[in-house]
A and B are shown apart, each in its own frame.
Chain A
Amino acid sequence: MRALVWHGKEDIRCDTVTDPEIEDPRDAIVKVTSCAICGSDLHLFHNFIPGMLPGDIMGHEMMGEVVEVGHGMDGKLKKGDRIVVPFTIVCGQCEQCRRGNFSVCETTNRKRHLANKVFGHTTAGLFGYTHLTGGYPGGQAEYLRVPFADTTHIKIPDAVSDEQALFLGDIFPTGWQAAAQCDIEPTDTVAIWGCGPVGQMAIRSALLLGANQVIAIDCVPERLSMAEAGGATTINFESESVAERLNEFTDGKGPEKCIDATGMEAHVMASQPDTLLDRAKQMLMLESDRPHVLREMIYVCRPCGVISIPGVYSGLSDHVPMGALMNKGLTVRSGQTHVNRWTDDLLRRIEEGQVDPSFVITHTVDLAQGPEMYKVFRDKRDSCVKVVLKP
């Protein structure tokens, strides 16, 4: 089969690889009908996340048709079912899964000894990601083996198209969780840094969860226009002061809720010297993340507000103002997405026509064009916001 394979920094290839095989009674093989390139795939593309090996198959946003199942499915999944595969692999049985904390499933990371060493405790196995999270082959491929498939799936009715359903596996619940963990109240202003795909989903989610005002911060006109279309007021940080504008919108008090949909690769700008320093340190491997957005959020957030971090951070961040964080009494909520906690509700909203996540798709291409599209997406060329690949 064909698959997009990581060979090293900025080196993705559409390779011919052997087909995946059932290994465990709870495994299933899925024929992938649609998959997407995620912003966090770019962190792997840039080799900023440790633990990738040449030959790893990329991709953690995928859906398709079940073509083979192991004999331990207990009727929960059968051949012909149309499913979205959540990016977090969940056993459904451990203590964390029973609590709904699916992204920290205690069972599914097959290389949990690495995660134990690096993170202190294991987190869930993830598709198409670092070996710290199991090194499971990803879904930017024609076929995918889904471990723990009886619990790691979201069944999709025929009335919902691939484009509408695909993002239930990652970016839609990620944006939703980012907003939900802000505990939004009707008077709240929610500020969202980053108008990439997750930021766009967070904007729609904050609005659907009843925020009084949503403010989106970015510098790319296409993304700002999409954010405005979703009901946000926008700030272009290249031409405006974020702190000043946020104070204008909130009578000088700052937003109650702040969402970091940017993560470890914040934009580098000469007018923000900390971003230059972070970039230099990142190059010299003295710091793994560029936490400019985190610093800015802590500075502008209203005292006793909430900081929600769906953006990916990989390791160590310098100069995070813990003094301001502590003295302002801010609450930080973060984590990889507990996808299955949210998907029933989100699928219902899609079916009812409340929301259609396909708005974010700007490019749909054949899988073979994947390596080129990584660069187009990374460089935001051709007004690219979200790439869907068709194997």
Chain B
Amino acid sequence: MYYVANIMRSKGDPKIVRSGPSSIEPADRLARRLGWFSIGLGAMEVLASRRITRALGMRGSEGLVRAYGFRELFSGVMSLSVDKRAGMWSRVAGDGLDAATLLSGFRYDNPKKHNVALALLMVGGIAFLDYKAVQQTVARSPRRGGGRRLYADRSGFPKGLEAARSSAKNLLGRAAVGAS
């Protein structure tokens, strides 16, 4: 990509010699990976819902799995966006729903209950990563409460606010006289 990008530049434009540390933090990378995982899982749930329900011994729940697929897709898109924290929270909530649904299929009379147990284990592991990403991803909104600096002394008018107002009035007055 850098090679292609450099073709777009002119001879005198600077080119990268050595790259420095990135503004992307490990939590951001984790969120991105989970976002792509969400999109992959979501696509699978939408496209192969019948195979999933068969593997889990939960036939008849194809519609629900497809709906969860769309939810995963949306969570994935959100996790890849700049609002990744919201995406991560939606994934955590989704993990809860997934776990509850899987638990309903974890019955003695389900011949595929071992697969359900395996899926539950995976959901638990992913939920741990999702929650870790939520905790580590910095909130986009500024901190509430104390520790703020207020800038009530920064008028930007070295001669004071009133002097600025009166100079503007004088200017407008002169302009009005000039116009008449």
Contacts and interface: CB of A to CB of B under 8 A. Distances in A.
B164 A354 contact: yes
Contacts of B12: 20-23, 27, 145
A353 B159 contact: yes
A383 B21 contact: no
Contacts of B164: 204, 207-208, 231, 354-355
Interface stretch (A6-14, A90-98, A308-316): A6-14
Given A55-B15, A353-B158, A375 B149 contact: no
Contacts of A225: 150-152
Given A53-B8, A186-B172, A380-B142, A20 B22 contact: no
A55 B23 contact: no
A225 B149 CA distance: 9
B10 A210 contact: no
Contacts of B142: 220, 379-381
A360 B81 CA distance: 30
Nearest to B142: A380
B14 interface: yes
Residue among B4, B20, B81, B164 with most chain A CB within 10 A:
B20
Interface string B119-154: 000000000000000000011111100001111111
Given A7-B22, A356-B157, A46 B82 contact: yes
Contacts of A209: 168
Contact of B140 (A1, A19, A208, A379): A379
* Residues of B in contact with A, size category: 35 or more
A210 B169 CA distance: 6
Given A204-B157, A356-B157, A284 B77 contact: yes
Contacts of A279: 83
A304 to B, nearest CB: 21
B17 interface: yes
Contact of A20 (B14, B17, B143, B154): B14
30 contacts: A5-B19, A13-B20, A15-B16, A15-B18, A15-B19, A16-B16, A21-B11, A22-B12, A57-B14, A137-B14, A186-B169, A186-B172, A204-B157, A204-B164, A208-B164, A209-B168, A221-B148, A226-B154, A279-B83, A282-B81, A283-B78, A354-B157, A354-B164, A359-B151, A360-B156, A362-B151, A371-B23, A379-B141, A383-B149, A383-B151
Residue among A10, A20, A380 with most chain B CB within 10 A:
A10
A341 interface: no
Contacts of B16: 5, 15-17, 55
Nearest to A378: B140
Contacts of A186: 169, 172
Interface string B26-44: 0010000000000000000
A289 B1 CA distance: 27
Given A12-B23, A20-B14, A57-B14, A356 B168 contact: no
B168 A208 contact: yes
A11 B153 contact: no
B5 interface: yes
Given A16-B19, A222-B149, 9 more contacts: A14-B21, A15-B16, A17-B15, A18-B17, A145-B12, A200-B156, A353-B158, A372-B23, A380-B141
A7 B19 CA distance: 10
Contacts of B20: 2, 13-16, 368, 371
A141 interface: yes
A11 B5 contact: no
Nearest to A208: B168
Nearest to A57: B14
* Residues of A in contact with B, size category: 35 or more
A268 B78 CA distance: 14
A105 interface: no
Interface in A172-226: 186, 200, 204, 207-210, 220-222, 225-226
Interface string A141-158: 100010000000000000
A129 B28 CA distance: 24
A229 interface: yes
B109 interface: no
A147 B6 CA distance: 19
A20 B151 contact: no
A230 interface: yes
Interface in A99-113: 110
Contact of A374 (B23, B77, B159): B23
A204 B158 CA distance: 12
Nearest to B24: A11
A54 interface: yes
Contact of B17 (A16, A23, A200): A16
B108 to A, nearest CB: 43
Nearest to B15: A18
Nearest to A27: B12
A54 B156 contact: no
A305 interface: no
Nearest to B171: A210
A292 B37 CA distance: 32
Contacts of A72: none
Contact of B13 (A2, A20, A230, A283): A20
A302 interface: no
